[in-house]
Copies of this chain bind each other. A is one copy, B any other.
């Protein structure tokens, strides 16, 4: 008998929040230093300068304050914090806590993948109930095999956390290996198939969606549809909407009918929301208005696409 999760089920929380807010947008927190509004910095910033991480923190804190009650979830991209060294991770810690304080779910985009006890250490770093960088969910890589996913899933079974496993990524070269043919299937399809039973074991009691999700680029809608057939109850994290060239209709193509309209995961936009061109003037009012407008545009694009799906 599985232990009762001590905290609410990730997918149930996510999907219910998406239903309530009426949009599946996930805002990616990718702090490109050269794009941060002048308001938050004193001239050009370098990753090595110890003033940089606090400035990034102030910027992202202000962004998070604008996202509250608008989006269900945010996705900090760990790489952009790590490139500032430990001070960057300190700011990542602050940002994660601030997001959770604001009621936003946090999906840590770290794409970790390692063996045995090392995978356990990553699960303890990001998903465990007492994790220093406690997030509601984490992106992980399947390449090392299913035994290397187990430590994350074990935490998920215990405390309700979620994972999104890389299956078909949004980049141009994702086909190099992910599209290779294993018999009549692609590697991506084969991986998806091998996750089916694990996903079923993590379905939420309220929505039926699994806390085991997968990553499927908006840039490959056809593959997305095939993966949806394989994994009907798995939420998709769909990156590539906006800046990477994926349109809203492609982004929601894998969604299926739900009680409040089509649903099936979350659609990520990072740069288009965080760094709207109009905000580069730097005045506080301008900047906030520009972020609000970019956010509204990203949300409207998705809700309109969902309406078109009926």
Q: Which A residues form the contact surface with B (CB < 8 A)? A: 30, 32, 47-48, 77, 79-80, 82-90, 92-93, 111-119, 121-122, 124-126, 130-133, 141-148, 166, 169-178, 180-183, 187, 190-191, 194
Assembly CA distance A132 to B141 (angstroms): 25
Expressed in whole angstroms, the minimum distance between the Cβ of A34 and any Cβ of chain B is: 11
What is the minimal beta-carbon distance from A98 to any residue of chain B, in angstroms?
Answer: 15
Docked pose: A89 CA to B132 CA in angstroms = 12
Contacts of A147 in B (CB 8 A): 171-173, 176
CA distance A177 to B133 in the complex (A): 30
Total copies of this chain within the assembly: 2
A83/B146 in contact, CB under 8 A: no
The 8 closest A-B pairs by CB, nearest first: A85-B132, A145-B173, A147-B173, A145-B176, A79-B121, A86-B90, A115-B171, A83-B125
Residues of B within 8 A of A126 (CB): 82
A88 CA to B121 CA, complexed, in Å: 12
Q: Which residue of B lies closest to A79 (CB)?
A: B121
Given A112-B79, A177-B190: A124 and B166 within 8 A (CB)? no
Neighbouring B residues of A169 by C-beta, 8 Å: 115, 144-145
Contacts of A173 in B (CB 8 A): 144-148
A124 to B191, CA, bound (A): 31
CB atoms of B171 and A48 under 8 A apart? no
